[in-house]
Amino acid sequence: MAQLMSFLIAFSLLAFAPLCFCGKSSSGYLYPQFYDHSCPKAQEIVQCIVAKAVAKETRMAASLLRLHFHDCFVKGCDASILLDSSGSIISEKRSNPNRNSARGFEVIDEIKSALEKECPQTVSCADILALAARDSTVLTGGPSWEVPLGRRDSKGASLSGSNNDIPAPNNTFQTILTKFKLQGLDIVDLVALSGSHTIGNARCTSFRQRLYNQSGNGQPDNTLDESYAAQLRMGCPRSGGDQNLFFLDFVSPTKFDNSYFKNILASKGLLNSDQVLSTKNEASMELVKKYAENNDLFFQQFAKSMVKMGNISPLTGNRGEIRRNCRRIN
């Protein structure tokens, strides 16, 4: 009997060991239950405010998703993108990929202020970005996933990192793949995460060269469908109209689905970085075909790759801080 008791005690200790271990914030693990005790309503609050913002303006879903991506690719998912310039900090908002382009900061402010009322200095801005990206995906019809939590916020920003590490629309396929690999992401992640361009807009300035002068010879990009190009030229002239907006996926611009990949196969990817997925590399071409044929497969992989991206170099334990205001360090 005594033996049985000691076995049961040992077994129950083993069974709960992972929970206790996860509870140590200094262990460096992210896990979905991180705020279950310290701020049980955290996810509900984020979801509610994101839903309100997306109901008001559908484009906001893509903007919030992109903030998380542009955050994670610069020194990891640490909310450095949210910092305004002050003192020694030069804001990443000034970088080429973000200037006149990154948006949704007011929505993040609103979420942060609601969370500060509910549980002061508990939920990080970095985790808010990760949750808002997931909620935006779901609200537009995309997949859901459990978001690992426990990131902390950076005490600095990197303008040079933002300029150099974020893939650009006119980068070559190889450059884009290299930028993904530097973050520990692979070609499968690259193609799946590019699928986020199933929602949102791009500015004329980010694809103009494809319409008029792709290779410096005054000729349009020959991998771009001619009738689609003619349509785009009407709103994106040779000069002027830089900020004019175009749907990244003209078939279902506000619905998160796999039509982005079908467009690429029809030579109707908007950005050069979209179209090269099917023209410059066989492995990525195969993935584009797979996702175009199978929406469930795309959703599955997108969710996996988002978790992987959200795990890029988080600050945990005693590193970083929990900002009271996402725009400035404490």
Q: Given this model, what pLDDT does residue 215 score?
A: 87
The active-site residue, picked from 37, 68, 70, 197, is 70
CA-to-CA distance for 242 and 119, rounded, in angstroms? 43
- Which residue type does 4 have? L
CA 130-135-141 angle, to 5 degrees, is: 135
**Phi and psi at residue 226, to the nearest 5°:** -65, -40
Write the pLDDT tens digit of every residue in 257-290. 999 999 999 999 999 999 999 999 999 999 999 9
Q: Given this model, what pLDDT does residue 29 score?
A: 87
Q: Given this model, what pLDDT does residue 64 score?
A: 98
Tokens of 34: 């991180």
Q: Given this model, what pLDDT does residue 38 score?
A: 97
197 tagged catalytic: no
Q: Which residues pair with 149 in a beta bridge?
A: 31
CA-to-CA distance for 137 and 152, rounded, in angstroms? 23
Q: Given this model, what pLDDT does residue 69 score?
A: 98
Distance from chain centroid for Cα 246: 20
What's the whole-model pTM score?
Answer: 0.90
Q: Given this model, what pLDDT does residue 28 score?
A: 64
Residues of the chain with pLDDT under 50: 1-27
Q: Given this model, what pLDDT does residue 216 score?
A: 87
**Residues 244 and 204 sit within 8 Å (Cβ to Cβ):** yes
